[in-house]
Structure 1
Amino acid sequence: MSKLRSGAHQAPSSGAGFDEAEAVKLWIHCSRCYELFAEKKFTFFLLACHHVFCEKCIKVAAGRTPTDAPIYECSTCKQSVRGRQVTNTMPKHFKDFFHPEPCTLANDLVEKFQRRNHRHFDRFKERKEVEMNKLNKDIELARTLCQKRLQEMQMLRVERKKLSQRMRHIKLENQKAEMLRIAQANLNRSLETTKSSSPAPDLIRGRIRGRGASQAPSRRSSRDSNRSSQAKRRQVTGFRHQPNHSFNL
């Protein structure tokens, strides 16, 4: 941990991985926000209750005198305890809690501390993995829906093209029908003007009927006279002579 003091507030470059010396410290994290100590973004503190927090998740209360060590309020166990900044210069019995090989120390407290932090961080990773899987499923579902909507949009685009062509065809048909209607109206108007300039057929028919009516009485009178003359002739010539058998001619 020779680099802890010099690079406590320096974050590694984006995209850069951790080397082997830093990888063994990935279990060191804030108990509240799960920020990693190896990223060196914030200052970390080890409290007397054996909980680790970063500077943005810990509350500091001043001691009774200015020379007193600061008192920290633990967010996990809700205790007001002393604490130390996690650096390379911290006392050995505190620094051993972050030893890369706790099995060589023969200290059950250190091993228990690291095992508890490992389990805590593993549970956090499991939750994140579940969230990630759910997000992946949501992304797949969203991708499927987007593909379906894309196909529907393409079909609608084709249908719209067909409808626009059909609309243009209908407009042309309506224009042709309107032109035919106008031509027929002009033809009817010209026929009406020619009819108005020539005598009316009804008048002609009336005249013809008038002539026929004037001629009908004369015809009837001639017929009656013929009938009366025929009747007179029949009266005159209708007598019968007695047959004469007195002589032979």
Structure 2
Amino acid sequence: MSLQFSVLASGSTGNAIFVETEEHSLLVDAGLSGKQLQSLFTQIGRDMSKLSGLLVTHEHSDHIKGLGVIARKYKLPIYANEKTWHAMEKLIGEVSTDQKFVFETGKVKSFGSLDVESFGVSHDAAEPMFYVFHHEGKKLTLITDTGYVSDRMKGIIDNSDIFVFESNHDVSMLQMGHYPWSIKRRILSDVGHVSNEDAALAMADVIGDATKRIYLAHLSQDNNMKDLARMSVDQVLASKGFYTGEQFELYDTDPKAPTPLVLV
């Protein structure tokens, strides 16, 4: 049995992550158009109609834009917590009752041999949550869209084999950029997004012997760059005694191109 995944798209323009075992395949968020999602699936050699279900993190448009479209087209079950359901129902259009499932924060839902653990994060949505995938002793963590990483979150995600970790912005770029102060304040707040440096400090607390790959995700198109994010994270981790290329590798994600399917 194997656990594989691909970050299909990551960023403020749309987010989607594909996770599969030999028994089941799941899509976490569908923040792009149906056409875009179809193209991304084709690029990784997978068929969207074979999905077992759709997992939702929260109701912001860059996470649910194509959700209703593909759920209706392929008759797919959707899993979200109650508050997220209430917040997004009018946004995704009509979905059949038998496709709606409640997946509460802090619970575990099993898809065959794949156990999906949900956990709450700090973001300005109804009840945002992300996921840890457990399979045959392997652990894949997805954590973006949070203003900070609490000790509770760290305890849940600790020593994952692979992390898909938010590294949203460079603080200096954000502060000097063109965004109005209200948006800058929201991004920098405890319910906004994690900066490169804060992401790295959190990573230093959860990297373990099992950790082999870290993907930097949800980079701001206006307030970050791939090279800058990687350099900033590298420097902070090195100051904490963690060296990229020795114990683990750092990888980019992209708002338009999927990462290759990787075995966890």
For the aligned pair, the TM-score class normalised by the smaller chain equals under 0.3
Greater share of helix: 1
Greater share of strand: 2
Greater relative CO (CA pairs within 8 A, separation 6+): 2
Q: TM-score, normalization: structure 2?
A: 0.20
